[in-house]
Amino acid sequence: MLNNIGLPGLLLIAVVVLVLFGRGKISSLMGEVGKGITAFKKGVKDSNDELEDSAASARDVTPEEEEKEKDKV
């Protein structure tokens, strides 16, 4: 069904949406979508940075006493 929608059909849909919602409402809606995408990308980047930091700070946590005993042997 959707395979038969061509350029004239898309233009007709765009005009109907513009008439129903108005230019200001569509503009503000697209602005909110853009803010949402930006917030999502920032969240993903922060999450990746946090994982990298925790992986970099992960190190050998062997207690010092066991290390000293290993050195004696």
Say if residues 58 and 49 touch (Cβ distance below 8 Å): no
The pLDDT tens digits for 19-57 are: 988 888 888 888 999 999 999 999 999 998 888 887 777
Distance linking the first and last C-alpha atoms of the chain: 78
Q: Which ranges in 1-73 belong to alpha helices (H)?
A: 7-57, 64-72
On the question of pLDDT at 73 being above 70, the answer is: no
State residue 26's pLDDT score. 84
Between the alpha carbon of residue 28 and those of residues 31, 33, 35, the distances in Å are 5, 9, 11
Q: What is the pLDDT of residue 5?
A: 79
Q: Is the pTM of this model over 0.75?
A: no
